Amino acid sequence: MNIILASTSTLFGGTYLTYLKKEIVSLFDGIEEIIFIPFARPGGISCDEYTDKAKAFFAELQIKVRGLHEFDDQTKAIQEAKGYFTGGGNTFLLVKTLHENGLMEVLKSNVENGKAYLGCSAGSNIGGLNMKTTNDMPIVYPPSFDCMGLVPFNINPHYLDPNPDLKHNGETRETRIMEFLTQNDIKVIGLREGSWIRRIGDRISTEGTEKTRIFEKNKTPYELEPGTIL
């Protein structure tokens, strides 16, 4: 497999995908056209608008982008593509659309057979076993929370450390993930912004500028340095 699952598309104060550019060039090496999966629709923007944003970035790399929503036969479009990019937004909307259109399994089998996959945020959540560690609001009801399982764990993107200055009684991210572990025995990778998971064949590693926080059932959470094999 040939996969990047990134915490975010955009670092604070940065521009779209810039911090990942070198890694993206390597991921899509030799590929002239990819499919963009826009269904997470951040802020409710249209699939066309969102695809235009991806097109603008990939034009710099001489890679053509077509939005999956543009195709009458989306299953065929996935089968015939050489690479994929799923953008962030709302994971519930993304997963609902993929399941209802019968695309989750098709995408999974194509990526498992070696086609390049880039996911950011919600697009990384669907690379995990299920979407039960998304941070998103459940604005729509998907027929299932199951995802592709391109890696043998779950992802929590935009992982955020507790803020001791916050005078607010909402749960911390760590509390939420620990609640997940009371109901599920699945490893969770807390990806801070600036970090990503890279899978090349069977080699899965943590990458980027930040440490990665790992949560497992009945264990104290622990940190991994960038470059660690998972």
- Catalytic residues, by residue number, are 121, 136, 158
CA pair distance 51, 38, nearest whole angstrom: 6
Closest CB to its own copies among residues 2, 130: 130
Phi, psi of 201 (to 5 degrees): 60, -125
Q: By C-beta, is 32 or 179 nearer to its own copies?
A: 179
**Beta carbon of residue 130, minimum distance to its own copies (angstroms, whole number):** 8
Q: Which is nearer to its own copies, 83 or 194 (CB)?
A: 194
Minimum distance between the CB of residue 185 and its own copies, rounded to whole angstroms?
Answer: 12
Nearer to its own copies, 81 or 177 (CB): 177
Q: Determine the Cα–Cα distance for residues 111 and 105; give it in Å rounded to an integer.
A: 10
To which H or E segment does residue 27 belong? Answer: helix 21-27
Closest approach of its own copies to the CB of residue 56, in Å: 18
Amino acid at 141: Y
For the chain, count helices (H), then strands (E): 7, 11
Find residue 215's DSSP bridge partners: 188
Query: Which of residues 28 and 85 has its CB atom nearest to its own copies in the complex?
Result: 85
Shortest distance in whole angstroms from residue 14 CB to its own copies: 9
Q: How far is the CB of 70 from its own copies (least distance, A)?
A: 20
* Helix-helix angle 91-100:104-112, to 10 degrees: 90
Give 44's contacts (C-beta < 8 A, 6+ positions apart).
none
Maximum CA extent, the chain: 52
Tokens matching residue 197: 């998971």
Q: Phi then psi for 91, rounded to 5 degrees?
A: -65, -35
Residues that bind its own copies (CB under 8 A): 8, 10-13, 41-44, 89-90, 92-93, 131-141, 144-145, 158, 160, 167-171, 175-184, 193
